[in-house]
Amino acid sequence: MTSDELSARGLLTEVVFSAGRSSGPGGQNVNKVNTRIELRFNVEQSEVLTTEEKQILTEKLANRISVAGEIVMRSSVERSQLQNKEDVCHRFLELIAKALRPRKKRKATKPSRASVERRLESKKKRSEIKQNRRNSD
């Protein structure tokens, strides 16, 4: 599932935004303007996600979900509140899309004939080295 599909489903309608003052350099802009954006999304109370998707998110993003059951993300990269909002929305949708993407199953393969022969050859050499140590007295 892509981030475009998630935004089309209306996932961003369930997100709560709040603005605050950024930290770091920036002079009066940092001191006066609320440019940092904080995004909060409650996984369990979501009406857009199915129960299976909620369960997948709670398992895969367990370290990102707070005690209150919310995913909290912040952005203060830009000096504009709007750009920070777009940044945090993009990162949020990417995070959810990556978590909901199904994992590829591993295909079992056999080692190649050449790799098997190389391994056996190295074992023979090692065996000879140890055999030579034994017969040196």
Q: What is the pLDDT of residues 46-79, one digit of tens each?
A: 888 899 999 999 999 999 899 988 999 998 888 8
Q: What is the pLDDT of residues 1-10, one digit of tens each?
A: 676 676 667 8
Q: What is the pLDDT of residue 116?
A: 96
Position 30 pLDDT exceeds 70: no
Q: What architecture is the 3-100 domain classified under in CATH?
A: 2-Layer Sandwich (3.30)
Read off the pLDDT band of 114 (50, 70, 90): very high
Instruction: Tell me the pairing of strands 16-20 and 70-75.
Output: unpaired
**Stretch 12-31: mean pLDDT, rounded?**
78
Q: What angle do CA 7, 13, 15 make, to 5 degrees?
A: 100
Read off the pLDDT band of 31 (50, 70, 90): low
Adjacency order of strands within the sheet including 16-20:
16-20, 36-42, 70-75
User: Are the beta carbons of 73 and 58 closer than 8 angstroms?
Assistant: no
Q: What is the pLDDT of residue 12?
A: 86
Domain ranges of the chain: 3-100
Read off the pLDDT band of 24 (50, 70, 90): low
Identify the residue with better confidence: 82 or 32. 82
The mean pLDDT value of the chain amounts to 87
Q: What is the pLDDT of residue 11?
A: 85
